[in-house]
Chain A
């Protein structure tokens, strides 16, 4: 009994009419890395945010070290030795790295009401050095760093004070291979020091490899807790979904020829500071993968193809020579784009599903400039249903949907637009297996219909599984091309990426 550090007893939480967590009880041992898995909306994040004081518990209690845990904020949780690294951006812009790291704990640098900034920066640099993130400096603004570096800063913030319990909520998707290795090292160190890690991830192979035990949640209920070395991915999928899933969800065809018709040609495309002199041709019915490390310029490339980059040079052109120079050009000529930054660029959160789906197609929906509401309703309903968006109705706000369903709304709006070419940037980022499978199926169907897809992804498996051809980018240039084949291995890719 003594090595139990944390016990959750009958934890419940509702948001309005949705029961997010139902009666969950489980125990965590000292020195244990516990995986927490489940589909989107299964209650993983909610459970952890209650543990960390971000949400209050409706009923039930947490017992930490034999004492009931009573906290109302993240700062209090930190003081009790519980810490979290969150899924989305958790650093605050406009502050320095050091200020972000010691946010809420500035007291230790304050003497007689005066903050000793130099000491704070020094301490931050010492910590960053210790973690091996030498390229990040404590006194520079957080805004100067990439998404990934900011994540590393968050890791430091969450772990420097050696909490008893560390929650890692879906962080690895934001990290490159190097960043992940660092995180795994920290997890292992925690285990050796007798601390507990709760690790949330959608990447099942990662969960199996790096955890000791795995708890599976489904619809807010705890389904089972299993030992990581006794299960495989299929077992976990079955537990998560509650029924048998097909073992693989990528497409299985190989060697089918791709049409020679070029639909889009990119010539010498350059965005200074991001990527340089990128040229390629996209064919009809082709899935063209673009892979690389997260800062290799491929995400910006996706934007540039869609005409969304400022100060872009040289050309993106359709088969008939039409230049694509702005987002409006792109949409007018049936090019669609889904962003990696889904919440800011792909959907309008504080707007209804209906308006989100209709917005890009308004010019087509208007009859002599007049919009009919019934027609919009029918249009939105049709495409939301086509792709099975889980919703209470088309007037539900997008902000209340889970990540996977938001992505479905994004796809629905572009399906409604009837694109010929779509640029999908990290389409399955932070999305559970079921919706992932749906998206892969949809991509394959679109390909069959002769639509061309550019798939930008940090997941090598996904690129290998779905693409006809893969361009690998490194430091802003194309560093190699790989053709579809069943014999590819991750090593082929990694060699070209780093």
Chain B
């Protein structure tokens, strides 16, 4: 309708801008995810009679969080640029299969191959997104189906089992160490090198970023590749946890990542308001929510319903309306 004239947009931006600035100054947006984390923890602690904060439950929650958190950190970079990546689940599946095959020969080789497989799929995503100017969510949905098909084919006859020795790596300290290592590297790159600013600039205004000397196409290609490689690495943690890979490996990972990041306060459009802690807080909230609902012995349909409602509410509360293009 007529109300879409850009004058109104500009003025509304100003209006919202000043309110937002005020919010920024008192850091409401910044603390909201933290508050959400604490509230959810308290609610479930209350509902489960403190069972969820017992060491056993915490261990369980942590064991689920590693793969999610590592894979989310790659998608985090993609989403900072304003892109989306739905191919992570199938990457995890395919990399896990490759790692399982190669675990019979050499575990280091297996890990490297897993990373390489992820990187190749990521590069395919990046190539089609950049070269043919296809929106990233469409490209990655295509690759999601493509490689999920391949996974199903490879696991048709029987699940692909890894060498028995891999489960010996399934120890908490190693998984925690590797997760912290990946997160630390991304934290440092994101906050103390050009990477973070460049990614945010692309998310907030790609054309202007290009005119500021950012190699936008190359950056996008590399980030998609890196996101794939990171999930390829997460596949190693997946293999040592589950031991054998079925056709459903990695199912839903992409939506879990998306939900985690949004719960962690990440603006779905990326841009300048992205913060690194979005990854950590988001994955933790997601896993607590997941386990809490299971502990409450709700049936799966009800769990889905509740997760859906929370997701919609969080998006509605936190979405950055001023940077969203009006597409009706």
Contacts and interface: CB of A to CB of B under 8 A. Distances in A.
Interface string B1-30: 111111110110111011111101000000
A385 to B, nearest CB: 19
B256 interface: no
B21 A45 contact: no
A331 interface: yes
B21 A392 contact: yes
Interface string A349-362: 11110010011101
A304 B13 CA distance: 31
Given A46-B11, A89-B6, A351-B204, A362 B197 contact: yes
Interface string A81-101: 000101111101000000000
Contacts of B11: 45-46, 49, 54-55
B200 interface: yes
B214 A84 contact: no
A347 B211 CA distance: 9
A92 B193 CA distance: 39
Contacts, number: 148
Interface residues of B, number: 43
Interface in A47-76: 49, 54-55, 73-75
B131 interface: no
A233 interface: no
Contacts of A89: 6
Interface in B188-217: 192-194, 197-198, 200-201, 204-205, 207-215
Contact of A369 (B10, B193, B320): B193
Most chain A CB atoms below 10 A, which of B1, B5, B11, B197: B5
Contact of B3 (A74, A308, A370): A74
B13 to A, nearest CB: 5
Given A49-B11, A73-B3, A350-B323, A16 B205 contact: no
Nearest to B210: A327
Contact of A355 (B17, B200, B323): B200
Contact of A17 (B4, B18, B210, B211): B18
A431 to B, nearest CB: 15
Interface stretch (A1-9, A291-299, A395-403, A467-475): A395-403
A16 B272 contact: no
B264 interface: no
B321 to A, nearest CB: 11
A26 to B, nearest CB: 21
Contacts of B10: 88
B15 A359 contact: no
A162 interface: no
Contacts of B18: 15-18, 400
Chain B interface helix/strand/loop/mixed = helix
Given A351-B201, A400-B13, A345 B193 contact: no
Contacts of B21: 16, 392, 396-397, 400
Interface residues of A, number: 59
B292 interface: no
A328 interface: yes
A363 B14 contact: no
B212 A74 contact: no
Interface string B260-293: 0000000000011000000000000000000000
A359 B212 contact: yes
Contact of B207 (A84, A344, A351): A344
A110 to B, nearest CB: 15
Contacts of B17: 397, 399-400
Nearest to B211: A345
A413 interface: yes
Contact of A371 (B192, B201, B272): B192
Contacts of A90: 5-7
A346 B15 contact: no
A16 B13 CA distance: 12
Nearest to A17: B18
Given A86-B6, A327-B213, A345-B207, A399 B1 contact: no
28 contacts: A17-B22, A45-B7, A46-B11, A54-B5, A55-B11, A73-B1, A74-B3, A86-B7, A88-B6, A90-B7, A104-B2, A169-B7, A308-B211, A330-B213, A339-B211, A346-B211, A347-B208, A349-B204, A350-B205, A350-B271, A351-B205, A352-B272, A359-B213, A360-B213, A371-B192, A372-B192, A397-B20, A400-B13
Given A330-B213, A344-B207, A346-B211, 20 more contacts: A15-B14, A16-B21, A17-B22, A45-B7, A54-B5, A75-B3, A88-B7, A306-B211, A331-B212, A345-B211, A347-B208, A349-B205, A351-B201, A352-B272, A358-B197, A360-B213, A362-B198, A392-B21, A399-B14, A400-B13
7 interchain residue pairs of minimum CB distance: A16-B18, A400-B17, A348-B205, A86-B7, A331-B213, A104-B2, A350-B323
